[in-house]
Amino acid sequence: MTDRIAVIPGDGIGREVVPATQRVLEAVEPEFSFVEAAAGDAVKEETGTALPAETRELVADADATLFGAAGETAADVILPLRQIVGSFVNVRPARAYPGTDALRPETDLVFLRENTEGVYTGHESRLTDDVATLTRVVTEFASERLAEFACEYVEERDEDGFTIAHKANVMRETDGLFRDTVDRVADVRGVPHDEALMDALATHLCLHPEEYGVVVCPNLAGDVLSDLAAGLVGGLGLLPSANIGPENALFEPVHGTAPDIAGEGVANPCATMFSAAMLLEYLDYDEEGKAVRSAVESVLEDGPRTPDLGGSAGTDAVTDAVLGQLS
């Protein structure tokens, strides 16, 4: 059956990098059916809502969604979208590519971040004017589901195993449950794993990123550590991400709408193209996913490159070069 892909360019450079990436997807799989939908600041101005009902339905019914970025309304768009796909894990690769100016060229990391609980459940309260509290939620169910995903991720990619990031020496109950559950699932499945205290891990990742590969994290730790790793590889224009749910998934670059360069035709489309490679693999187009990733990598290495990477090429020239690699 034809896979239906919802395409949401959003605002700013989303409208440049998403169409560029759709050309790449069309080139590797002419059978895909693309349905475009609106979300973000512009549609809110027009209709009063940043995420119209038809966009929600389209995403719910699609096999996968490619999203660009939304401006001021980002939180009103991306949080509900992640809910619609039931995303329980956020996959954030951070890899340094030859030809780019990475702080740590040896970095090749993937963060698997728990995406539904921890300190981001919104259980916050203001007890008095000068005292606020937050309730942290960790369940065996969510930790187990993340661990199962991590084991499959590592097995499918022939990775060496994974590192569990936590702070169970202080948060004994919550991170204790997280660590013990992930540890138990990995033991049962025979997947090699070690663990690291998240604060010490932050230091080690800066000094010796090459010693790590896949890192499995609670929600907040995953948010912070993956952003730290983004700094190691440099260039927001290169970082993809995936929000995976039980039967649906959403793929998006990590960057925003880049208002400073929007409309100039110079946005780097590589992060969105790497996100599309993840989308292809999610839909079991493994060969096509690999082909897109290596086409983008070879263009990064040999050029043409966009100005954020020191080049002078536009989005279209980079896209044409990627298409050239694929043909």
- Positions touching ligand NAI (CB under 6 A) are 13, 17, 69-72, 74, 78, 236-237, 252, 255-261, 267-268, 271, 306, 308
Q: Which does 259 bind (CB under 5 to 8 A by kind): Mg ion, ligand NAI, none?
A: ligand NAI
Q: Which of ligand NAI, Mg ion, none lies near 223, with the C-beta cut-off 5 to 8 A by kind?
A: Mg ion
The span from the CA of 77 to the CA of 90, in Å, is 16
Closest CA to 14 of 30, 48, 37, 33: 37
Least Cβ distance, residue 42 to ligand NAI (angstroms): 12
Closer residue to ligand NAI, CB minimum distance, 8 or 214: 8
Q: Does 223 bind Mg ion (CB under 5 A)?
A: yes
Q: Which does 70 bind (CB under 5 to 8 A by kind): Mg ion, ligand NAI, none?
A: ligand NAI
For residue 194, give every residue at least 6 positions away whose Cβ sits within 8 Å of its Cβ, in sequence order, or none.
Answer: 161, 163, 164
Look at residues 324, 319, 235 and name the one whose alpha carbon lies nearest to residue 273: 319
Nearer to Mg ion, 90 or 174 (CB): 90
On whether the CB atoms of residues 17 and 236 are closer than 8 A, the answer is: no
The window from 71-79, 122-130, 215-223, 253-261 that contacts Mg ion (CB under 5 A) reads 215-223
CB 33 to ligand NAI: min, Å: 24
Report strand pairing: 214-217 vs 108-114: parallel
CA–CA separation, 71 vs 75, rounded Å? Answer: 9
Three-state secondary structure string covering 59-104: HHHCCEEEEEECCCCHHHHHHHHHHHCCCCEEEEEEECCCCCCCCC
Minimum Å gap between C-beta 227 and Mg ion is: 5
Minimum CB separation of residue 280 from ligand NAI in Å reads 20
Please give the residue ranges that form the binding site for Mg ion (CB under 5 A). 223
